[in-house]
Chain A
Amino acid sequence: MRTLASPHVTQDLAGFREVQRLAYACAEAVAGRLTPGTTERDAARMQREWLRRRGVSDWFHLPFAWFGDRTAFTGFRVPTQFFPSGRRLEPGMPFVLDLAPVYRGFTADVGYSGCLGPDPLHTRMLDDLLDHRDLILRGVRERRPLRTVYEDVDRLMMRQGYANRHRAYPFGVIAHKVGRVRDRRRSPRILGFGTQALKGLASDALHGHREGWSPLWSPYRFSDHPPAPGLWAVEPHLGFRGTGVKFEELLVVTDSRDPEESAFWLDDDLPHVRRRHPVGQGRHPVGQDGQKGTGR
């Protein structure tokens, strides 16, 4: 078992792109079928079944689903609280789907945020989340230490008025490495995480420990190193008073000298990126009368 050290091989990237698209297609399909009364467990099962029908048999992790204030991990203390619960969806509730299928040996890990019914606040948060997508790419291209990029994201969130909720993930990670895994007939799991993928992560951790980097992108000292080449599943997660939004997608980091080539998002044609361009959706607040009271 070996993770991909230099994934800028076009063929490999195509494979990753395909599974990422598949995962997002699943998230969109399931999101479209969510109705009031659906539980988190139902939503997780729907994702699982949708992907199984399309040939997915191994997972980086089994699909997660969070509804309502659980999207912001409110009151989460122990890791078991991440697992899908019996929380029922209600009109106006935000939700997050997080799934990581392995397809033909390629891993994707994606996150999808939605809301049952229109909510201007949720829309605003999704808009603001995209700023982090740009910020992270810029930081990585500048080869800044990952810990510093993490703190930049923290600062931007604070300025935006949101709380950093990826801090609630194990090790507080904003991203982790993913790679190719061997296609096996059996794919056992530990606590919802595929053993193949965990093995890959463990071997990365071992290599990284020797070479001074870590496959986990965290706020801690072990992430105080420039970005390591490979595929990173990046998942900034904003929380704001009981509403959480995140995206998760693959960032390709290479050892190229050219900044454009050194890091890029695997795919720009994703639901949360597409929302940036639609007609008539300005980024202006749903404000009322003219305020902006700068010393009026």
Chain B
Amino acid sequence: MNAFGTELDGARERWVRSGGPDRADGPDRADGSDRADGPDRVELCVAELGDPADPTVVLLHGYPDSKEVWAPVAQRLQERFHVVLYDVRGCGRSTAPSPLRGGFTLEKLTDDFLAVADAVSPDAPVHLVGHDWGSVQGWEFTTVRRTEGRIASFTSVSGPSLDHFGHWIKERAVRPTPRRAAQLLGQGARSWYVYALHTPVLPEAAWRGPLGKRWPDLLERSEKVPKGPYPTASLPSDAAHGAWLYRDNVRERTRRPRPDAYAHAPVQLITPTGDAFLSARLYDDLERWAPGLVRRTVRAGHWVPRTRPGQLADWIAEFVDRQADGPAPAPARRTLPTGGKARAERYERYARRFAGRLVLVTGAASGIGRATAFAFAEAGARIVAVDRDAEGAARTADLARLLGAPEAWAECVDVSDEAAMEKLAARTAEAHGVVDVLVNNAGIGVAGAFLDTPPETWRKVLDVNLWGVLHGCRVFGRQMAERGEGGHIVNTASAAAFQPSRTMSAYSTSKAAVLMLSECLRAELGDRDIGVTAVCPGIVATGITSATLFTGVPEEEQRRLRERTTRLYGRRNYPPERVADAILRAVHDDLPVVPVTPEAHGLRLLARFAPRLRRAVARAEPRL
């Protein structure tokens, strides 16, 4: 039990001495008496979870935090790893050096890390994970010579190396092209707090006064960090002491960055795209310093260890496992789908975001659903392919694995069946975890005059096209919301959602409902970081035409119409792969409504700016 009643209950605690003439470990003690003796000597509070025989993962916190910031991640990792957390000197329950000035240099912090690593894992190198200043320190540890052989891997979250940062600034200041100048100014503006922390006394006063009191509210409002046991009661003194991290290091290192700051351990970089303090541009040429860098991006704010603990734990575990399997490179990447630099970059971006994520696609046995499953598979996502057609879904899953999905499963479910969807959701969560991206794509086509459309047909089309989407959003949306780590829902609407037509009343109605549902859900779930997209493809060559119900015509005519429309759609020849591309872009960039084909764009413009013309188009009778 520790002093502040935090979430690290059950952790084994010990004290490690660092600094001063003798760097031997302190004895384990239950009480806090006989603290650091001599100047510049500190006692570090270390917490351990999990079995010490497992690989050791050291989680290092940032500013203004204490080790408790990592609690949710540590809990998820402790089953498989020996998890070690410690309070950086001056923070949490570790003692502060005296005097403070000059006591927080990166050299001294390196001493602390080595002392802890020697105490908790004397024989094997440790896997290091740092957030914010913990990551800044991590970069220092990973790039100085004296830690060589003590670090097995390093996962960096939201904290650059000050040396790399120094070089980054220098390169942009020396040759300020407009783009580079903009990058420099952008990061300059984001770094306002760094300048503020260099003022003497005032920051300390603020932290010990009103800012310390308001901080939890601020965090919740601006960063969506849920309130609770975190931040701990030690926050004001953590923050006040931590100001010296900036004062002791930032000016020194950015002015005279080390020229040899090359990483001697594999590095994984996790970049939150919504970070208010660090520009993603900072990491642009990081491969120069860390060869073989693995990049991941996550749509979140700065405090990822609190807001995305599950995702972070997955990535950490995967990266640690990869090192254990030997220095084998990342799984063999297939040749890029298409040439061209832009395409390759896009592919890279998607792989950073979607690798290892769980994507569930309905209607995945053919057409747009199948192409979407393949596109996500290519980006390294895990796929659940759902369809009524079991054979087709199984085939999608097979090919998805061949394309690069680490795992893929097929599920035979009718989306209009509420109970079956509930079961599917429960089964999926149980076996594979909560779905990160849901693509409600299953749909059927119906065409024919309203007066010729019997109620059963209406029921059928609404059951699949609308209720299928509703069930998906309900059961999987709830799971996403309960997990609290965000997610994304894509609903396949149609260009028919904004273009009325005399021959497609049932279909258009169902798709318009899907469009509106998506917009409403987006408004509601946005607070929980769940994005919702309505995709409106247009005329795409898929199997939907060969199964479309043409109402009010005899069987023979029905077959002719199906063949005819299939040929027409085939001649239009817009491939479902391009719709899949649009879906990945929509999820990546969190777009609300995505028309895909040119005609879909055109009809949307028509609906907005020329409603009379749109009605005239609706009256036209297509000749088939």
Contact = CB atoms under 8 A, between A and B. Distances in A.
B396 A90 contact: no
A92 B335 contact: yes
B561 to A, nearest CB: 16
Contacts of B335: 68-69, 90, 92-94, 242-243
A154 B563 CA distance: 13
Interface stretch (B166-174, B403-411, B462-470): B403-411
Contact of A161 (B332, B338, B399): B399
Contacts of B409: 291, 293
A285 B374 contact: no
A92 B410 CA distance: 28
B570 interface: yes
Contacts of A167: 573
B508 to A, nearest CB: 25
Interface string A66-109: 00110000110000000000000010111000000000000000
Interface in A115-170: 119-121, 124, 154-155, 158-161, 163, 167
B543 A288 contact: no
Given A92-B332, A241-B403, A159 B366 contact: yes
Interface string A216-251: 000100000000000000000000111100000000
Contacts of B370: 161
A53 interface: no
Contacts, number: 88
A154 B398 CA distance: 20
Interface in B52-87: none
A158 B366 contact: yes
A285 B334 contact: no
Contacts of A33: none
Contact of A163 (B394, B398, B575): B575
B401 A287 contact: yes
A295 interface: yes
A167 B334 CA distance: 25
Residues of B in contact with A, size category: 35 or more
Query: Which of A242, A287, A291, A293: most chain B CB closer than 10 A?
Result: A293
A74 B408 CA distance: 26
Nearest to B340: A75
A288 B338 CA distance: 27
Contact of A74 (B339, B392, B546): B339
A242 B407 contact: no
B395 interface: yes
A167 B573 CA distance: 10
B470 to A, nearest CB: 21
Contacts of A93: 335
B525 interface: no
A161 to B, nearest CB: 5
B401 A288 contact: yes
A155 B570 CA distance: 11
Contact of A295 (B397, B407, B412, B546): B412
A186 interface: no
A171 to B, nearest CB: 14
B332 A241 contact: no
A295 B338 contact: no
B390 interface: yes
B336 interface: yes
B378 interface: yes
A293 B412 contact: yes
B433 to A, nearest CB: 15
Contacts of A288: 401, 407
B378 A295 contact: no
Contacts of B407: 288-289
A146 to B, nearest CB: 15
A291 B336 CA distance: 27
Contact of A158 (B374, B399, B543, B577): B543
A191 interface: no
A161 B370 CA distance: 8
B402 interface: yes
A291 B397 contact: yes
A292 interface: yes
Contacts of B359: none
Contacts of A159: 366, 392, 395
A123 to B, nearest CB: 9
Interface in A150-207: 154-155, 158-161, 163, 167
Nearest to B373: A161
Contacts of A296: 411, 427
A294 B336 CA distance: 32
A242 B374 CA distance: 12
Contacts of B374: 161, 241
A68 B339 contact: yes
A290 B154 CA distance: 34
A242 B337 contact: yes
Contact of A292 (B338, B366, B410, B570): B410
A119 B334 CA distance: 9
Nearest to A159: B392
A119 B427 CA distance: 33
Shortest 7 CB-CB contacts between residues of A and residues of B? A242-B337, A285-B398, A121-B402, A294-B412, A293-B411, A294-B390, A241-B337
Interface of A: 68-69, 74-75, 90, 92-94, 119-121, 124, 154-155, 158-161, 163, 167, 219, 240-243, 285-289, 291-296
8 contacts: A92-B335, A121-B403, A161-B395, A161-B399, A219-B570, A241-B337, A286-B401, A293-B410
Interface of B: 332, 334-340, 366, 370, 374, 378, 390, 392, 394-399, 401-403, 407-413, 427, 543, 546, 570, 573, 575, 577
